[in-house]
Chain A
Amino acid sequence: KTQVEQSPQSLVVRQGENCVLQCNYSVTPDNHLRWFKQDTGKGLVSLTVLVDQKDKTSNGRYSATLDKDAKHSTLHITATLLDDTATYICVVGDRGSALGRLHFGAGTQLIVIP
């Protein structure tokens, strides 16, 4: 059973627009949540890590929220660029150390058009 659900599956926006990606999960315990960016044919690159019960992070044009009560996270991308075209993957870790398991969503494919 899929424990990390991402929506939408795919999204097309125009350059300069903002977008919001969603991640809902049922993983328990939920120690932390990471968002990764995966360019086509490349590996995953970490964008941010959220840890607290209600957490917010910001990394340039990327900002993210986590609500552990709702088991829900969002990734906001502001003023999108063509280089933001990629798959964005939500990952929930069930422990604070590498001894825990990581649970991966299938990703949201974002396409930014001129």
Chain B
Amino acid sequence: DMKVTQMPRYLIKRMGENVLLECGQDMSHETMYWYRQDPGLGLQLIYISYDVDSNSEGDIPKGYRVSRKKREHFSLILDSAKTNQTSVYFCASSSRAKNTLYFGAGTRLSVL
């Protein structure tokens, strides 16, 4: 079953705390993405990973970093979270060969 799994689904943190969002996929997709979705806006690209240890900044990378040590896992890290990072974060993966794109169910992060 083709799937992108995000953990946790819901997270509440205090300003200044570190945050780790995890994403896994079971399709051996080369490319993985982290997006955030805010009300009234389209999804915004934070980081894109083309394969293990091959990561590039997206449109809004400030305040975020990523890690991809295995093809099936892609982590998003917020060092010292800020209240304006309250959002829903989506992970996605895609296959270049098949031009397919799959999204996880999202992580709803609240930074107080």
Chain B CB within 8 A of A82 CB: no
- The answer to whether A96 has its CB under 8 Å from any CB of chain B is yes
Instruction: Give the number of residue pairs across the A-B interface with Cβ within 8 Å.
Output: 52
Are B96 and A98 in contact, with the CB atoms below 8 A? yes
Chain B residue nearest to A43 in the complex (CB): B103
A34–B4 touching, CB < 8 Å: no
Residues in A whose Cβ lies below 8 Å from that of B40: 106
Q: What per-residue 1/0 map shows which CB atoms of A88-105 lie under 8 Å from chain B?
A: 010000001111011111
Which residues of chain A from 1 to 55 have a CB within 8 Å of any chain B CB? Answer: 2, 4, 32, 34, 36, 41-46, 49
Chain B residues in contact with chain A, CB under 8 A? 4, 30-31, 35, 40-45, 50, 90, 92, 94-96, 99-106, 108
